[in-house]
Amino acid sequence: MNFDVVIIGGGLAGLTCGITLQEQGKRCVIINNGQAAIDFSSGSMDLLSRLPSGEIVNEFCKSYPLLQQQLPEHPYSLIGAEKVLEKAQQFEKLAKTLNLDLEGSTQGNHFRVTPLGGLRGSWLSPNSVPTIQNSETFPHKSIAILGIEGYHDFQPQLLAENLKQNPQFAHCELSTGYLNIPELDQLRDNAREFRSVNIAQLLEHKLAFRDLITEIRDSSKNAEAIFLPACFGLDDQGFFNILKEKVGKAIFELPTLPPSLLGIRQHKQLRSHFEMLGGLMLNGDKAVKADIENGKVSQIFTSLHPNDAIKAEHFVLATGSFFSNGLVAEFERIYEPVFNSDIIGYKNFEPSNRLSWTSQRFSAPQPYQSAGVAINEYCQVKVSGQFMDNLYAIGNVIGGSDSLELGCGSGIAVVTALYVAEQIGGAK
């Protein structure tokens, strides 16, 4: 099997890179091992929310010099501020083209409401999610927070108690309640099946849709706005938009415990567009080994094609971090399993010294979270001390930053994906 580009990993980074390369006329294949981290995400995307020093980031441009100074091995520091902003803005345009229903910009972070009633700085958020700009107050004075009877992945009372602690919601009158939705009774009998995805699948055919509208109206009473768990609309936001229109009030949805419907929608839309452009998905397959000759990857083999080499001019590693097995931790080492790439972290992290992987304080940022493959300023991967000419890394498989602590995981994914697509495409 011969391709222009082989992308290993079918999450946010892999699909963004694949879509861009297909648009450039490259023939791409994505080796997709299973569910990606995007399926468990909130649907919001972070460019940079916090500096290593702990300082909150409001505007990326103003904070970038400090990031480069404090964390020179961060992918953003290697790529440069100009390219990071260029690629972030390129993704904003791509998101509009794909109708991902995202709002926000690189000019400044906004706050999104979390399922626990907190406020978290974000770069892009679904326009169905309640958001606040800086210190502005929420535009509605009364909010009805409605859960679903028997559904434990969304707790209205907890959300309300925490939400009113935020100054932006101090003026709001909050009420809570539960929707019954009789059509869900078959799911209530099995708690393992009573998840956001199952609810969305059952309601997708608009069973008793008028009754659902009536119940939401009655339960919200005189509230101006309604907060619901993100359980309405599986493939895209269309079902939720119709529901909002018919109820006739300002309705917002909040992500629930994983899997997250908001992330799943984005994943489906990205994958559908990649395939529409002619890209090939090898689903349920896993890259297991590679042949490297003269500083270049010549071919790889997968678990489903152990004897059939997959060849390409370029290879892109987009396997993610520990969650998706892009990185593997054994008792005495952390390694990248396909190419055995060189591993880096930051501060005192050493991939072969287990004592350096964790902090003594449980709640502190853990050094192992910064682990990942070593790259240069072109995102080329380092293997056995040598940067590979045709092997690139994108997304959270890259080392040198703690994306959870700094709030930059999605940003790294899309920025490096688009940057590598530019390197491969030969754009100047």
Residue range(s) occupied by CATH 3.40.50 in the chain: 130-254
Residue 235 has pLDDT above 50, yes or no: yes
Domain ranges in the chain with CATH number 3.50.50.60: 2-103+264-425
**CATH number at 2-103+264-425:** 3.50.50.60
- Per-residue pLDDT, 207: 67
Identify whether the C-beta of residue 137 lies closer than 8 Å to the C-beta of residue 145. no
User: At residue 206, does pLDDT exceed 70?
Assistant: no
Q: Cα dihedral sign for 150, 151, 156, 162?
A: positive
- At 203 the pLDDT is 87
Q: How confident is residue 263, by pLDDT bands cut at 50, 70 and 90?
A: very high
Strands 119-122 and 110-113: antiparallel
* pLDDT for residue 204 is more than 90: no
Q: In the CATH scheme, what is the code of domain 130-254?
A: 3.40.50
- Tell me: the pLDDT tens digits for 140-155? 999 999 999 999 999 9
Q: Is the predicted pLDDT of residue 428 greater than 60, yes or no?
A: no
Among candidates 409, 411, 381, which has minimal Cα distance to 81?
411
For the residues 246-252, what does the mean pLDDT come to? 96
Q: Could you give the angle at which helices 12-23 and 261-276 cross, rounded to 10 degrees? A: 20
H helix or E strand, kind and range, residue 416: helix 409-425
pLDDT in tens, 164-192: 999 999 999 999 999 999 989 888 887 77
How far is the C-alpha of 418 from the C-alpha of 15, rounded, in Å?
A: 10
Of 267-281, 293-307, 352-366, which gets the smallest average pLDDT? 352-366
Quick one: pLDDT at residue 427?
A: 46
379 confidence band (pLDDT: 50, 70, 90): very high
Return the closest-CA partner of residue 412 out of 286, 336, 320, 316.
320
Q: Which amino acid is at 250?
A: A
Q: Which amino acid is at 229?
A: P
Q: Report the distance separating Cα 415 and Cα 408, nearest Å.
A: 10
% of the chain surpassing 70 pLDDT: 99
DSSP class per residue in 210-222: HHHHHHHHHHHTT
Would you say 384 and 297 are in contact if contact means Cβ atoms under 8 Å apart?
Answer: no
